[in-house]
Amino acid sequence: MLEVTGLSAGYGQVEVLHGLDFTVPKGQVVALIGSNGAGKTTTMRALSGMIRPRAGSIRLNGREIGGLDSHDVARFGLAHSPEGRRVFPTLSVEDNLTLGAFPRLTGSRPKGDVAADRARAFELFPRLKERRTQLAGTLSGGEQQMLAMGRALMLRPEILLLDEPSMGLAPKLVEEVFRIIRLLKAEQVTMLLVEQFAMAALGVADHAYVLENGRIRFQGPAQQMRNDPAVRAAYLGGSH
């Protein structure tokens, strides 16, 4: 599981996160919600080593991963499907998936059966199978999101970070993304989910934290938050 204590991080002179404490228990889905600029993506970036935390500790299965480079964080089993999808546009769908397993293929994580996992990803995302030889840059936004998620799963992660998986997608595709998240949850994949559609996120999560100006404002079981009128009015905007 993931335990974060006193996490502070930011960009240049600006501190965005001011001491966050939260945990993601094994096998659970935790949602991080809050308005734009609350620090959700910054949190994800600090966890995966894309930016260096200024203070605090990040422990994955008891091991400190705070301050490591992102490639080392990945080797400890944290997969991050980043905001904006960030697939590799000039590589094929298949190669994008293969690269998700890079630490397994280069000996820094147990290898297992990479080909079987790729087949599993195609099962999960049939549209990717149809487009397996196509360059990722030619995919639609929804397909790129599927690819980004499939690629992250190729690590066989201890924890999966999903940053805004529904951003910019048509309602039907948003539903599809959440269907996949539910499916992964049923398979006991540990997830930390950042979502703008807070109600949908609370619908799938076990536990949720509400972030405001780089601090955790509320937390609690997702179901309870979903029904709390104060939280609803202040942070969930009513939609979805």
| Residue 16: C-alpha distances to residues 32, 54, 164, 169, 235 (Å) | 15, 10, 18, 27, 19
**Helix, strand and coil percent figures for the chain, each rounded to 5:** 40, 25, 35
In the range 181-240, which residues lie near other proteins by CB under 8 A?
A: none
Listed ranges 4-12, 74-82, 116-124, 166-174: which one lies at the site for other proteins (CB under 8 A)? 74-82
Q: Which of 25, 52, 63, 106 binds other proteins (CB under 8 A)?
A: 106
Of 152 and 174, which CB lies nearer to other proteins in the complex structure?
152
Contact between 108 and other proteins per CB under 8 A: yes
Listed ranges 26-34, 54-62, 88-96, 184-192: which one lies at the site for other proteins (CB under 8 A)? 88-96
Contact between 66 and other proteins per CB under 8 A: no
Contact between 99 and other proteins per CB under 8 A: yes
Residue 199, token pair as written in the block: 């109600």
Phi, psi of 217 (to 5 degrees): -95, -45
Listed ranges 29-37, 93-101, 213-221, 222-230: which one lies at the site for other proteins (CB under 8 A)? 93-101
Instruction: Give the separation between CA 45 and CA 16, rounded to whole angstroms.
Output: 12
Q: Is 126 helix (H, G, I), strand (E, B) or coil?
A: helix
Q: At what angle do helices 93-100 and 141-153 cross, to 10 degrees?
A: 30
How far out from the chain centre does Cα 16 lie? 19
46 CB-near residues (< 8 Å, 6+ apart): 7, 9, 17, 52, 53, 58, 66
Listed ranges 100-108, 123-131, 167-175, 181-189: which one lies at the site for other proteins (CB under 8 A)? 100-108
Q: Which of 64, 69, 123, 175 binds other proteins (CB under 8 A)?
A: 69
Residues forming contacts to other proteins in the complex (CB under 8 A) are 48-50, 69-71, 74-75, 79-80, 82, 84, 86-91, 95, 98-100, 102-103, 105-106, 108-109, 151, 155
